[in-house]
């Protein structure tokens, strides 16, 4: 169930959208974003270590559009509710982005879920089939334009306390890169009740 929820988030995010804006890349901005992502990824700041009582911290998550200029999809934003995601609750995901080139049958996503350096799952998904199976507001063919897709999934209550990474690489039927997204979620520390 955890994998399905995580894969749903990755598939929706990756299929909803991805091309960085054309033009020069500001390396300082990229470094600042990478630094922020690293800080966001670090576990909640735990105090009172060694005490027997539970220390409360919030689950943390984030994502990064690792796409290239010329990709068919551009991921603009991903929002989740509740934020942060909570085990045992319904998770609603809203992804916004732009489709620059037609997305048609045969477009697929290679998704890898990792726990630290350990690969838990590597799977190829047909993007159009996943949209149909999820009863998404989009279906193939997807014409160029701006789109918002919203999907809800139930997160299991028994999600292991760990940091998970999801890598989604989307390709066209011609095997050309269409989108790239890395997502991380940290269930390592408990949420406040």
Domain-embedded: residue 15: yes
Its pTM stands at 0.67
pLDDT above 90: residue 42: no
Q: What is the mean pLDDT of residues 128-150?
A: 91
CATH code for the domain of 19: 2.70.220.10
pLDDT for res 4: 44
Q: What is the mean pLDDT of residues 30-55?
A: 39
Domain-embedded: residue 170: yes
Domain-embedded: residue 147: yes
Domain-embedded: residue 156: yes
Across the chain, the runs of DSSP E, i.e. the strands, are 60-65, 73-81, 90-99, 108-115, 118-126, 145-154, 163-171, 177-186
Domain of residue 37, residue span: 2-44+57-186
In this structure, of 54-63, 146-155, 161-170, the range with the lowest mean pLDDT score is 54-63
Sign of CA dihedral 168, 164, 77, 92: positive
Domain-embedded: residue 63: yes
pLDDT above 60: residue 100: yes
Identify the CA nearest to 54 among candidates 164, 165, 161, 158.
161
Domain-embedded: residue 52: no
Tell me the C-alpha distance between 39 and 184, whole Å.
Answer: 12
Query: How many domains does the chain fold into?
Result: 1
Domain-embedded: residue 149: yes
pLDDT one-digit tens code per residue, 159-187: 888 889 999 999 999 999 999 999 998 88
Domain-embedded: residue 165: yes
Predicted confidence band of residue 26 (pLDDT cuts 50, 70, 90)? very low
Predicted confidence band of residue 55 (pLDDT cuts 50, 70, 90)? very low
pLDDT for res 134: 84
pLDDT above 70: residue 33: no
């Amino acid at each position: 169930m955890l994998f399905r929820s995580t894969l749903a988030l990755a598939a929706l995010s990756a299929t909803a959208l991805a091309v960085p804006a054309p033009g020069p890349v500001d390396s300082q901005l990229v470094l600042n974003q990478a630094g922020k992502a690293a800080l966001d990824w670090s576990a909640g700041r735990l105090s009172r270590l060694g005490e027997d009582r539970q220390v409360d911290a919030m689950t943390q998550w984030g994502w990064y559009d690792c796409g290239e200029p010329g990709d068919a999809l551009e991921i603009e934003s991903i929002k989740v509710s509740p934020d942060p995601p909570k085990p045992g609750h319904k998770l609603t995901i809203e992804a916004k982005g732009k489709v620059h080139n037609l997305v048609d049958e045969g477009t697929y996503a290679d998704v890898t879920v990792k726990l630290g350096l350990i690969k838990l799952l590597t799977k190829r998904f047909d993007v159009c089939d996943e949209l149909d199976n999820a009863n998404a507001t989009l279906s193939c063919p997807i014409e160029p334009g701006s789109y918002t897709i919203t999907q809800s999934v139930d997160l299991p209550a028994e999600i292991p306390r760990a940091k998970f990474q999801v890598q989604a690489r989307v390709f066209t039927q011609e095997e050309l890169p269409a989108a790239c997204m890395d997502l991380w979620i940290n269930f390592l520390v408990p949420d406040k009740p």
